[in-house]
Structure 1
Amino acid sequence: MSAPPALRTAIPALRTQFFVAGALFATWGVHVPNVKLHYGLGERALAIAMMAGGIGSVVALLFAGKLLARQAPQRVIPLMACMAAVAIGSLLLPSAYAWLLVLMLAYGVAAALFDVAMNDEASAIEREAKRHLMSGFHGMFSLGGMVGAGAWSLLARAGVSVLEHLAGAALVLALLALSASPFMLRLQRHGASGGSPLSVPTGPLLLLGLLAAMGLIAEGAMYDWSVLYVRQDLATPSGTASLAYASFSAAMAAGRFGGDWVRARTAPVTLLRTSGLVAAAGMALALATPTPWIALAGFALVGLGFANVVPVLFSAAAQVPGIAPAHGIAAVSSLGYLGLMAGPPMIGFIAQARSLATGLLVVIVFAVMVSALSRRALAARG
């Protein structure tokens, strides 16, 4: 049976938005070393800048639930995409550190609302289509990350400046988000009644949210620190170092595009356990070798391992008895996204105190915890 016409256009439109979000995140990620150099930052100051993005996300999540109760994702997503693009495109325009903090704060607000709105619409599409689609949507985020990182690797070798890349990427991605927005699903919103503006995870949702946070802390570490690790600790040129992000994102994209097929044939607990162990092994390999190309292979294993953690957890959140699917996904994604934005600064503080390699051990710890707690977290599903 073919999908309704609205779904036939909404699915590729939302996939485009996930792609844009991933590419914007990658554009920030591959230029972390350049931001550090431009502003003359140490690891601690860089971590504080990343924390500003996390604070922006926390502020956004305080009113994301109420905003999305009144405004459909179709209206929120293009505005937040443009706001995020402007922030990323302007990263190296000012010279004062205070302006970097302002830009990261703005990016954190926009990226959080962009992410929650996309997952809100993704859950609605999955319910209407009555089939697994969440992994594929998140695969587009990873594909965007791969393309965003890979583009800089190629453009750097072609002599394109960092400023030109930031401005061009921001413009192209903003236009792409705007062009896809009219084709998104038109969800009806009639406003929210009283109550907390934030969907706070409690009960079974709390453990699901904590596992999502652990997975996304590790994912955020790859986005924000893998390029710097390969460039700085392994003494690799910028163009090659950006492949750390690209290899991680490419493997994650492959795992997610095949994830809906795997999820239909593998028990969620088994998939989550295996995912955590593969990610832990990959990070251990990357940190144990001084050879950049072996480290890139390790980062790819991390991406493959974490590929389906978030889709499995979001789907589980939609199946908790007595809780509306939209509320469950909003609660778990809010806590998970907080982990995505808070994890990199935490690693930065560890790196300042010890070393970046020590900070990245967090990825191994959280991957093992995701594996160990999978059965307990998924036990609450109906």
Structure 2
Amino acid sequence: MDASVYARKAVYGRWAVAWAFFFNGFLIGSWAPQIPVFMTRLGISEFTLGLLILVFGVGALSSMPWCGYLIGRYGSRAVVKGFAVFCSLSLLLVALAPNVLTAAPALFLFGAVIGGMDVAMNANAVEVEKKLSRAVMSSSHGFWSLGGFAGGGLGGLLIEAHGYLTHAVVVTLIAIVLGLAAFRFMITEETPVVHEKQKLAFPTNPLIYLIGLMALFSMVPEGSVLDWAALYLQQERGADIATAGFAFAAFSGTMSIMRFLGDRVRDRFGAVNTLRVSALIGAAGMLVASLAPTSWIAILAFAFSGLGIANMVPIAFSAAGNQEGTSSGVALSMVTLMGYSGILVAPSAIGFVGGKAGFGPVYMVLAGLLIVVFLMANLAKSADRNQN
């Protein structure tokens, strides 16, 4: 293949995978404003809603181990496109569910296809990095955050003006158009190579599990800010509801900005150095937030922590996808599973501990988890194998 054609296809592939991340984040963001309506129309309690949201998470985690096998057999592009078809329709199925008995399997399916696509698009981003010989993972996750912002913002306006069902139909149509316009330009592995003998199997390389542990320790603090920071500021720092809401907004905002800058930072300083500095920034922010005397100092600390945490998971994913002797799909399915398990399981444990001991000590412990990632950072050196 002519070098210019090869380079052009790689660039197209880079933007196609960016749209895949946007697509996935857009659907997740579109689900968020549906939740209050979903609860009201089904007439369920907060407890039941929590269980149904847990079903969504279980669906996502259940599909992730299979993705390594599917990617190894068919290639990441085919798997992304296949899951995207079901993703496009999944929110509409949830919106059409008339009762809990139908909503539960609809949410399980929604979570399964979102989670499966998540693994496949990360594997495809690793392939793009190899073809371009530069990092794109952090900015790809930035597009996911941007999609979530767009989905949440559009959703609130559409539901208020036209109702939840019209919103679900519009989201479905937008998703279909995005998929048809962008996914045909995705690149894939030259020939899918299955290092795990074309069967569903766990990675045999122990480094995969250590990288998965880094992803887990990086994602638990992110989930803790999402679920508990507002309550922490209200109950322990005397913030009003409006002020408390700025905690995650500030954290998410700095994360989004840093993810779009992260690839250039990583290309210049290397994955290991970037991860070390990121972990220290994240830990420092969490520690200050845990000790902050006022709500606004805590908010600023959470925002500072977001600058560090932003690129930790993308680096872990790149490191997993570049492990020699293991297909990127198999490695990423395990690391994604371990990382997202923290977001699924940790909130309930954090809530229990926080209710007994306060959330200040919890955030102090989470700072310690980020220090552990700092100490393990050298394991991420494989993230730079995509670069010349």
After the TM superposition, which residues 124-203 of structure 1 pair with which residues of structure 2 at under 5 Å, given as runs?
124-152=127-155, 155=158, 159-189=161-191, 192=194, 194=197, 196-200=199-203, 202-203=205-206
Q: Deviations over 1:75-97 (max 9, x none)?
A: 22233123223222333432422
Q: Deviations over 1:157-213 (max 9, x none)?
A: x64534433332233123212321111114344575736514436422211111112
CA separation of 1:46/1:334 partners in 2, compared to 1, >3 Å: closer, same or farther?
farther
User: Distance in 2 between the 1:243 and 1:154 partners?
Assistant: 20
User: Distance in 1 between the 2:170 and 2:361 partners?
Assistant: 35
CA separation of 1:71/1:381 partners in 2, compared to 1, >3 Å: closer, same or farther?
same
SS in structure 2 at match of 1:213: helix
Q: Deviations over 1:120-165 (max 9, x none)?
A: 1111111111112221222211221222233345556x64534433
Q: What is the aligned partner in structure 1 of residue 376 from structure 2?
A: 376
After the TM superposition, which residues 258-273 of structure 1 pair with which residues of structure 2 at under 5 Å, given as runs?
258-266=261-269, 268-273=271-276
User: Distance in 1 between the 2:313 and 2:12 partners?
Assistant: 25
Q: What is the aligned partner in structure 2 of residue 61 from structure 1?
A: 64
CA contact under 8 A between 1:209 and 1:335: conserved in structure 2? Answer: yes
CA separation of 1:137/1:380 partners in 2, compared to 1, >3 Å: closer, same or farther?
closer
Structure having the higher Rg: 2
Query: Mean alpha-carbon deviation: is it higher for 129-138 or for 169-178?
Result: 169-178
Matched, 1:70 2:73: yes
Q: What is the aligned partner in structure 2 of residue 335 from structure 1?
A: 335
Amino acid across the alignment from 1:164: T
Amino acid across the alignment from 1:374: F
SS in structure 2 at match of 1:132: coil
Q: What is the aligned partner in structure 1 of residue 386 from structure 2?
A: none
After the TM superposition, which residues 173-322 of structure 1 pair with which residues of structure 2 at under 5 Å, given as runs?
173-189=175-191, 192=194, 194=197, 196-200=199-203, 202-220=205-223, 225=227, 236=241, 247-266=250-269, 268-280=271-283, 285=289, 300-318=303-321, 320=323, 322=324
User: Distance in 1 between the 2:144 and 2:283 partners?
Assistant: 22
Give the Å deviation of 1:217. Answer: 3.7
CA contact under 8 A between 2:17 and 2:121: conserved in structure 1? Answer: yes
Identity between Structure 1 and Structure 2 (%)? 28
CA contact under 8 A between 1:22 and 1:144: conserved in structure 2? Answer: yes
CA contact under 8 A between 2:211 and 2:316: conserved in structure 1? Answer: yes
TM-score by length of 2: 0.78
CA separation of 1:85/1:346 partners in 2, compared to 1, >3 Å: closer, same or farther?
farther
CA contact under 8 A between 2:125 and 2:137: conserved in structure 1? Answer: yes
User: Distance in 2 between the 1:365 and 1:35 partners?
Assistant: 35
User: Distance in 2 between the 1:241 and 1:163 partners?
Assistant: 31
CA contact under 8 A between 1:60 and 1:113: conserved in structure 2? Answer: yes
CA contact under 8 A between 1:347 and 1:360: conserved in structure 2? Answer: no
CA contact under 8 A between 1:47 and 1:345: conserved in structure 2? Answer: no
CA separation of 1:83/1:302 partners in 2, compared to 1, >3 Å: closer, same or farther?
farther
How many residues are aligned here? 374
Give the Å deviation of 1:255. Answer: 0.6
Q: What is the aligned partner in structure 2 of residue 115 from structure 1?
A: 118
Matched, 1:100 2:103: yes
After the TM superposition, which residues 25-44 of structure 1 pair with which residues of structure 2 at under 5 Å, given as runs?
25-44=28-47
Amino acid across the alignment from 2:174: V
CA separation of 1:110/1:315 partners in 2, compared to 1, >3 Å: closer, same or farther?
same
SS in structure 1 at match of 2:94: coil
Q: Deviations over 1:85-112 (max 9, x none)?
A: 3222333432422322212211221112
1:87 to 70, 90, 95: 90
Give the Å deviation of 1:218. Answer: 3.8
Q: Which runs of 5+ in 1 are unaligned?
A: none
Give the Å deviation of 1:352. Answer: 7.2
User: Distance in 1 between the 2:356 and 2:174 partners?
Assistant: 33
SS in structure 2 at match of 1:252: helix
Give the Å deviation of 1:24. Answer: 1.5
